Amino acid sequence: MNDEYDLVIIGWGAAGFAAAIKASEITSGQARIALIGDGPLGGTCVNFGCVPSKYLIEAAAEAHAGSRHRGVSLARPSVDFRELMNGLREAVAGERTRKYEQVIARYENVELIHGRASFVNDREVVVNGRRISGYNFLVSTGSSPVIPDVPGISEFMTTNNFWNMSEMPSTLVIIGGGAAGLEIGQAMSRLGSEVHIVEPRRLVPPHADPDASSIIARSLQADGVRLHLGFTAARAEDGYLIIKGNGEELRIRADAVLVSAGRTPNVEGLNLDAARVAYGKNGVATSRTMQTSNPRIYAAGDVVAQRFMLETLAAREGAVAAENMYEHLGIEVNELEFPRALFTQPQMASVGTLEDECAGCRSKSVPLESVPRARIAGDTDGLFKVVVDREGRVVGVHVVAPNASEIIVEGAMAVRHGLSLSDIVDQPHVFPTISEGIKLAAQSFSRNVEDMPCCVE
């Protein structure tokens, strides 16, 4: 077989897979595709991100479960951490096999090539000394954890190897209060670790709605997580991490350290200059059609210079890149249409813009306490916030609620289709459900929701 392909995809995570499959479908399986990668198939989400973290969170929620209702008591569960992590790794392997390995094996036109690719020119890459030429290329190499410089630190984990742990650390220090740090922090606290989260900014997660962030911070603290906001890790010595901030220095015992301080696009080693592909430290520059500065080369997923790193966004971008290569439609991706979620308890989910990012926008919010179902469940920590633009179109929805990640899809539909407040109010909801909160928030623009009986339109 020669080494000439119709499409060369560098990176076999969500974006690369979506592109390979979409390109195969459009071309009736006739596009000859090279899918190149050097980590486990499936990339970050299934192996190191969403999938293992959700497993840990679910297990921790079971360990933490307690009754909120009078007359019901639950026995305190015990935790075998080693067994839990064995189960977690099996679940990850199972998902990887089912959703990636077995899926791609059905595509005879796709050849998996193991190794790191580097451009020789804009028609050729080299992988382990093998030259591979292509007509179109997709750069979908994903992202890697950022490692902050902390003097004296010798042993630490990232989200790439945290999942290999078998012993539960009695104290766990997490550097970084982003989504992964908060999710893992709350789960590990619930499982029995003493957890400290060190975050230089005042909000966790950063870049979220401030009211929603405050509720998340309170909830984590109520679970026993020690949040050190405004602090940075200064140095490590003798099993302790020294953190500084707010004019003070704290010394924290650290049996284990997890670095979760953001992610950086994987552009190093690709030799993108040789392919005339523009990029910077924030990633590869693309148009909204996912085309790079070289019109035959596309990029998708975490490697793209954009705001969000999401599995769903990566998959859409990969598919759209393939459609634009073969359908010539110029389809665009708008990342603000993509809902994102923090899977703590309560969950936080958002779509669209924050109020302070949008000139002339207005917002209203209702506390979860105003939602009858939340009161019945005895679980009232949360809020619903709706942001509208000058024309009254919904441009942002922010939810903190037990199942915010499911509810946000209604907000995502509203943002994507430019719906108005009355579109949401007129949409029948089920009583009593948490999802009524978005309707109440929309109604709160025109009336006091506390003066309404249930189900008033």
Partner 1 sequence: MKKVVLRVFGMTCNDCVSRVRAGLLEREGVLDASVSLKDGTAVVQIDEGVVRPDDLELLPVFKGGRYRAQVRSVE
Residues 6+ apart with CB under 8 A from 84: 56, 59, 191
**Which of 326, 392, 409, 433 contacts partner 1 by CB under 8 A?**
326
Q: What is the DSSP letter of 455?
A: T
Taking the CB of residue 241, how many other CB atoms lie within 10 A of it? 24
CA distance 431 to 371: 10
Stretch that binds partner 1, among 86-94, 238-246, 319-327, 357-365 (CB under 8 A): 319-327
Least distance between partner 1 and beta carbon 29 (Å):
9
Residues 6+ apart with CB under 8 A from 393: 418, 419, 420
Does the footprint of partner 1 cover residue 27 (CB under 8 A)? yes
**Which of 30, 86, 121, 170 contacts partner 1 by CB under 8 A?**
30
Sketch the per residue contact string, 91 through 130, with partner 1: x for CB under 8 A, - otherwise. ----------------------------------------
Least distance between partner 1 and beta carbon 271 (Å):
24
For residues 417 and 245, is the Cβ–Cβ distance under 8 A?
Answer: no
Q: Which residues pair with 244 in a beta bridge?
A: 232, 249
Taking the CB of residue 65, how many other CB atoms lie within 10 A of it? 11
Strands 130-139 and 4-10: parallel
Strand runs labelled E in 271-402:
279-280, 283-284, 297-299, 340-342, 347-352, 362-367, 383-388, 394-401
Q: Number of residues in contact with partner 1, rule: CB under 8 A?
A: 12
Least distance between partner 1 and beta carbon 318 (Å):
18
| Amino acid at the residue 216 | I
Sketch the per residue contact string, 142 through 171, with partner 1: x for CB under 8 A, - otherwise. ------------------------------
| 120-143 per-residue burial string, b: 16 or more CB within 10 A, e: under 16 | eebbbbebeeeebbbebbbbbbbb
Stretch that binds partner 1, among 170-178, 194-202, 326-334, 353-361 (CB under 8 A): 326-334
Least distance between partner 1 and beta carbon 327 (Å):
7
Nearer Cβ to partner 1 (311/323): 323
| 371-383 per-residue burial string, b: 16 or more CB within 10 A, e: under 16 | bbbbeeeebbbbb
Q: Which residues pair with 313 in a beta bridge?
A: none
Sketch the per residue contact string, 171 through 210, with partner 1: x for CB under 8 A, - otherwise. ----------------------------------------
Nearer Cβ to partner 1 (308/326): 326
Does the footprint of partner 1 cover residue 327 (CB under 8 A)? yes
For residues 400 and 382, is the Cβ–Cβ distance under 8 A?
Answer: yes
Stretch that binds partner 1, among 216-224, 285-293, 298-306, 322-330 (CB under 8 A): 322-330
Residue 442, helix vs strand vs coil: helix
Residue ranges of the alpha helices (H) in 336-453?
372-377, 404-416, 421-426, 436-443
Hey, which residues between 328 and 347 contact partner 1 (CB under 8 A)? 328
Least distance between partner 1 and beta carbon 4 (Å):
11
Token look-up 């906001």 returns 229
Nearer Cβ to partner 1 (281/328): 328
For residues 229 and 206, is the Cβ–Cβ distance under 8 A?
Answer: no
Q: How is residue 410 written in tokens?
A: 């209604």
Residue ranges of the alpha helices (H) in 27-166?
43-48, 50-64, 81-96, 102-105
Stretch that binds partner 1, among 50-58, 228-236, 321-329, 416-424 (CB under 8 A): 321-329
Nearer Cβ to partner 1 (134/402): 134
Does the footprint of partner 1 cover residue 325 (CB under 8 A)? yes
Stretch that binds partner 1, among 325-333, 352-360, 362-370, 432-440 (CB under 8 A): 325-333
Q: Report the half-sphere exposure of 452 (CA within 13 A, side-chain side).
A: 16
Nearer Cβ to partner 1 (294/403): 294
Least distance between partner 1 and beta carbon 424 (Å):
36
Hey, which residues between 64 and 93 contact partner 1 (CB under 8 A)? none
Residue 391, helix vs strand vs coil: coil
For residues 346 and 401, is the Cβ–Cβ distance under 8 A?
Answer: yes
Does the footprint of partner 1 cover residue 394 (CB under 8 A)? no
Does the footprint of partner 1 cover residue 289 (CB under 8 A)? no
Which residues of this chain interact with partner 1, rule CB under 8 A? 6, 26-28, 30-31, 135-136, 325-328
